């Protein structure tokens, strides 16, 4: 790994950084270095709060191992993305845009699929993050009573004798009776197929958070990076403290890590076995963990906004990966050591609303410390929301500039912010927010569907690296990944497909098919842009970035039939894994 870092700092013959964008030319501005991208990506570790409870609820004592293995895979894959990003110093939008340039020579439809899947994988971070942050705020303002709360005890003393039900049901009825009405208030609620939709208090709080993030990002990437630097410091340090201090005070409770077997059934503490059901639960957890642990690849989403992309691109993803490697392994380990399987299976942990309070309890120090840490966890979620809006909006922007998505998305304001793409993100996520705030089932359905897109994107982009090596071998690379890392990335591409085929059903029976249908929606969108708006031709800038003329872009196919065989093999692996692994 050290050789890769050293090579990234060396100038490459024939490689020059393009000029900085200005407000007049309508392009993104070259205003940050790798540290700016690092701070923008520093919201990724907070993604652990989205699914740490859900993964524990499916795998029990294996949960810490799931996070560790998934993070290691993501870190290895990032070196592949660092190489292909260096090929396109003029592009923003992340690895999906760089990978699409490899596939466009072979098929016009697969290239936009990469960009689209990356966007609908990343974009829901806004709505999902806002829904969790809203639940934390509601818990702080109007906390849910517990079985030992004075109001619950008083209600049972007054009404318990008249109830003809079990004691546990009486407690549940008492909690519901004395809970603040604001927790269950909703302006409108309905059911849409497999999910619910609710315009409740969490929705309106989440919408306000989303608008606040939009206001910050309207100032451009430099302003965003400056704000996130300070929020990042307020978040990363406490997350590290939460991961380390409980271990120093209480030690490691090794009983919570043995035996290393999956659960017999989701949300049940009984240990299972390494049978088909057990493996399906494990693969389902690896599937959903990938959505969080691979996410630091967003650090290379800002290549066209780096002052020196030849040096900054690799450093941004490498150091972001090191940060995630630390926190994605440390926090779940401490979480499991302190809570155990029974604690991790509590409803508030599984749905995410009680994760911040649980992490605060690990550190101790009384209500003041607990409230302080809960507020920092809310800031952590705001940080990852800002990360998601910055990255996903630039994916839309570059997808439009390259001819994949409608033209209106390529507009930027005087600060170099892609505001029309940001507005599109915002409107889309307001709709998703109403679903995510309804209940835990709807939340994880959205998460699973978006992750189907993320796995498709990773499959296409990990394989795009070797296509670029074959078709664009003559292009200088500021960073060149070791060949064995590219090969390993190609293997991981198929492993990720197994995660999706086997594991999406763990979260919802139709999640896989809903994800594939969502991915297919790019076909009419791309056809409208390419054949109606552009008359079947790509923008000239896209050909320039491929380092070929318009004719060469479709004729230089040195990889032969290998890309087509790879796509076919991916489909076969997906269907076989979905058929073989069952709950």
- Residues whose CB falls within 8 Å of the CB of residue 33, separated by 6 or more in sequence, listed in order: 306, 307, 308, 312
pLDDT at residue 27 in the model: 55
pLDDT at residue 92 in the model: 59
Q: Which residue has the higher pLDDT, 130 or 268?
A: 130
pLDDT at residue 566 in the model: 96
pLDDT at residue 4 in the model: 36
Comparing CA positions, the residue from 165, 248, 33 lying closest to residue 156 is: 165
pLDDT at residue 228 in the model: 65
pLDDT at residue 226 in the model: 64
* pLDDT at 264 > cutoff 60: yes
Give the mean model confidence (pLDDT) for residues 135-153.
Answer: 82
Lowest mean pLDDT among 17-21, 119-123, 283-287: 17-21
> Is 8 inside a domain boundary?
no
The answer to whether 209 touches 382, Cβ cutoff 8 Å, is yes
Instruction: Work out the pLDDT band at 554, boundaries 50, 70, 90.
Output: very low
pLDDT at residue 3 in the model: 35
Q: Which residue has the higher pLDDT, 175 or 582?
A: 582
> Is 11 inside a domain boundary?
no
Q: Which residue has the higher pLDDT, 485 or 158?
A: 485
**pLDDT > 90 in the chain, percent:** 27
Percentages helix, strand, coil for the chain, rounded to the nearest 5? 70, 5, 25
pLDDT tens-place string over residues 3-40 = 333 333 333 333 344 444 444 445 555 556 677 767 76
Phi, psi of 238 (to 5 degrees): -60, -35
> Is 315 inside a domain boundary?
yes
Instruction: Work out the pLDDT band at 504, boundaries 50, 70, 90.
Output: very high
> Is 99 inside a domain boundary?
yes
Range(s) of the domain holding residue 454: 34-144+179-580
Whole-angstrom Cα distance, residue 76 to residue 349?
A: 30
The answer to whether 12 touches 478, Cβ cutoff 8 Å, is yes
CA atoms within 13 A on the CB side of 353: 22
The answer to whether 304 touches 323, Cβ cutoff 8 Å, is no
pLDDT at residue 552 in the model: 43
pLDDT at residue 12 in the model: 38
pLDDT at residue 11 in the model: 36
Angle between helices 366-401 and 221-250 (to 10 degrees): 140
CB crowding 302-331: b at 16 or more within 10 Å, else e: bbbbbeebbbbbbbbbbbbbebbbbbbbbb
> Is 2 inside a domain boundary?
no
Angle between helices 125-141 and 419-436 (to 10 degrees): 50
* pLDDT at 53 > cutoff 90: no
> Is 397 inside a domain boundary?
yes
Q: Which residue has the higher pLDDT, 292 or 140?
A: 292
pLDDT at residue 549 in the model: 45
pLDDT at residue 115 in the model: 87
Contacts of the segment 441-444: beta carbons below 8 A, 24+ positions apart: 441/195, 441/196, 441/508, 442/195, 442/196, 442/197, 443/128, 443/131, 443/351, 443/352, 444/54, 444/288, 444/507, 444/508
Lowest mean pLDDT among 156-170, 319-333, 541-555: 541-555
pTM for the complete prediction? 0.84
Comparing CA positions, the residue from 377, 296, 420 lying closest to residue 42 is: 296
Instruction: Work out the pLDDT band at 359, boundaries 50, 70, 90.
Output: confident
pLDDT at residue 7 in the model: 35
Task: Write the CATH number for 301.
Answer: 1.20.1740.10
pLDDT at residue 544 in the model: 65
* pLDDT at 221 > cutoff 60: no
Indicate the number of domains in the chain. Answer: 1
Give the mean model confidence (pLDDT) for residues 310-319.
Answer: 78
Q: What is the mean pLDDT of the chain?
A: 81
> Is 155 inside a domain boundary?
no
* pLDDT at 473 > cutoff 60: yes
> Is 160 inside a domain boundary?
no
């Amino acid at each position: 790994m050290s050789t890769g870092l050293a090579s990234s700092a060396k100038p490459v013959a024939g490689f020059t950084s393009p000029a900085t964008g200005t407000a007049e030319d309508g392009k993104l501005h070259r205003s940050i270095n790798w540290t700016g991208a690092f701070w923008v990506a520093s919201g990724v570790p907070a993604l652990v709060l989205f699914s740490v409870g859900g993964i524990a609820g499916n795998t029990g004592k294996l949960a810490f191992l799931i996070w560790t293995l998934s993070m290691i895979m993501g870190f290895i894959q990032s070196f592949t993305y660092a190489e292909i990003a260096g090929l396109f110093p003029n592009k923003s939008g992340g690895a999906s845009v760089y990978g699409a340039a490899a596939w466009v020579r072979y098929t016009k439809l697969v290239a936009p699929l990469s960009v689209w899947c990356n966007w609908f994988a990343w974009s829901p971070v806004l709505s999902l993050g806002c829904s969790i942050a809203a639940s934390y705020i509601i818990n702080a303002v109007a906390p849910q009573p517990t079985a030992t709360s004075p109001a619950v005890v008083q209600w049972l003393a007054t009404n318990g004798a008249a109830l003809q039900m079990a004691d546990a049901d009486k407690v549940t009825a008492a909690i519901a009776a004395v809970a603040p009405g604001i927790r269950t208030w909703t302006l409108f609620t309905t059911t849409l197929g497999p999910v619910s939709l609710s315009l409740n208090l969490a929705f309106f709080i989440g919408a306000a958070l989303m608008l606040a993030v939009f206001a910050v990002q309207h100032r451009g990437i430099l302003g965003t990076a400056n704000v996130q630097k300070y929020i990042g410091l307020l978040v990363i340090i406490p997350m590290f403290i939460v991961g380390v201090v409980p271990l120093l005070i209480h030690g490691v409770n090794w009983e919570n890590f043995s035996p290393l077997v999956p659960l017999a059934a989701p949300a049940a503490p009984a240990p299972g076995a390494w049978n088909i059901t057990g493996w399906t639960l494990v693969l389902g957890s690896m599937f959903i963990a990938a959505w969080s642990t691979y996410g630091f690849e967003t650090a290379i989403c800002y290549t066209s906004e780096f002052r020196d992309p030849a040096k900054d691109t690799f450093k941004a993803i490498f150091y972001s990966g090191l940060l995630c490697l630390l926190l994605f392994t440390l926090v779940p380990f401490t979480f499991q050591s302190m809570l155990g399987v029974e604690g991790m299976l509590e409803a508030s942990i599984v749905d995410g609303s009680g994760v911040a309070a649980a992490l605060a309890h690990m550190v101790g120090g009384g209500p003041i410390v607990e409230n302080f840490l809960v507020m920092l966890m809310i800031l952590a979620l705001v940080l990852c929301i800002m990360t998601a809006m910055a990255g996903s909006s630039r994916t839309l922007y570059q997808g439009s500039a390259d001819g994949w998505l409608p033209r209106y998305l390529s507009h930027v304001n005087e600060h170099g912010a892609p505001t029309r793409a940001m507005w599109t993100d915002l409107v889309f996520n307001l709709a998703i927010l109403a679903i995510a705030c309804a209940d835990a089932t709807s939340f994880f359905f959205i998460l699973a569907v978006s992750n189907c897109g993320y796995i498709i994107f990773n499959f296409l982009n990990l394989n795009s690296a070797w296509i670029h090596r074959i078709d664009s071998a003559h292009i200088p690379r500021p960073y060149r990944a070791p060949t064995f890392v590219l090969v390993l990335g190609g293997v991981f591409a198929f492993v990720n497909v197994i995660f999706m085929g086997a594991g999406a059903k763990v979260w919802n029976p139709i999640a896989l098919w809903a994800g594939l249908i969502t991915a297919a929606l790019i076909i009419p969108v791309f056809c409208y842009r390419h054949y109606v708006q552009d008359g079947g031709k790509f923008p000239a800038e896209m050909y320039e970035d491929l380092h070929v003329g318009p004719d060469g872009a479709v004729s230089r196919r040195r990889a032969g039939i290998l890309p087509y065989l790879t796509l076919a093999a991916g489909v076969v692996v997906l269907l076989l894994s979905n058929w073989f692994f069952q709950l």
